Amino acid sequence: MKNVRLYLTSIALLPAFAFLQGQTVEEIIAKSILAAGGKDSIAKINSITMESTTQVMGNELATTTVILNGKGYKNSSDMNGQAIVQCYTEKGGWSINPMGGGSPEALPPGQLKYTRLQFEIGGPLLNYEAKGNKFELIGKENVGPVEAYKLKLTTRDSAEINYFIDPVTFHVIQTTQKSEMMGQEVLLKISQSDFRKTEFGYVMPFAMDLSFGEQFSLTVIVKKVEFNKPVDPAIFDMPK
């Protein structure tokens, strides 16, 4: 009798189990976009300006990030009066590193295939097929206490990034990709948390932890976000 009850219980749970196991790439991505506020909310955003603090090597740097959808991304931090800048556009990218002399330098071609993702508001999940992106469901993998969906992104520029999506909230809680630091290949891991719904209905992380292998790490805490603030595209031009 006990075995019969167990059998009947198992049969009753089968539909729910099948649903959990049967999530497709398309369903996961659709739910993730909805969790971020939905296509309509994201479509209303042309620019994002963020003020944040970057905690690195015991220092706290004031940081400003400007994103002009489909056009450019610029991240500027102040370190004791010296600027640290990362800038990406449709045409390329450049950076300023006080430790490297403080002069603007063009980014190496190998890094450029990843930069386009930085100035696409809504990220590569939104309208991914139209952008030439391909996603593959790898399975599930633990991210801290969360058994997250692991999706592999291959962009039209052949960049490869792993996306980890919480199966309950459907937020992207982590990404991993190969990167270069000081001439060495490292694993860049970006963990996202403190998701908040903004005035536009757009949901975004207000805390990010970045680690470059075992070499370097930093934490970004967003303090203020403004949407559709006018942006002069000239700010993305590399200084002479």
CA–CA gap between residue 116 and residue 8 (Å, rounded): 52
The larger pLDDT score, comparing residue 213 to residue 166, is at: 166
Categorise residue 213: left if φ over 0, alpha if ψ from -120 to 50, beta otherwise: left
CATH architecture of 24-236: Clam (2.50)
Six-digit token string for 178: 């190969």
- Over range 167-186, report the average pLDDT: 86
Query: What per-residue confidence (pLDDT) applies to 109?
Result: 77
CA–CA gap between residue 216 and residue 208 (Å, rounded): 14
Query: What per-residue confidence (pLDDT) applies to 145?
Result: 96
**Sole residue written with tokens 């994103």:** 67
User: Where are the chain's structural domains?
Assistant: 24-236
- Of 114, 102, 81, 75, the C-alpha closest to 236 is 75
CA–CA gap between residue 66 and residue 75 (Å, rounded): 7
Average pLDDT of the chain, as a whole number: 87
Query: What per-residue confidence (pLDDT) applies to 183?
Result: 66
CA–CA gap between residue 52 and residue 6 (Å, rounded): 54
**Dihedral sign for Cα atoms in the order 123, 126, 132, 133:** positive
CA–CA gap between residue 85 and residue 73 (Å, rounded): 10
Query: What per-residue confidence (pLDDT) applies to 19?
Result: 38
pLDDT digits (tens, 9 = 90+) for 104-148: 999 887 778 888 889 999 999 999 999 999 999 999 999 999 999
Query: What per-residue confidence (pLDDT) applies to 80?
Result: 85
Query: What per-residue confidence (pLDDT) applies to 208?
Result: 97
Categorise residue 37: left if φ over 0, alpha if ψ from -120 to 50, beta otherwise: left
What beta strand segments (E) does 69-104 contain? 72-79, 82-89, 93-96
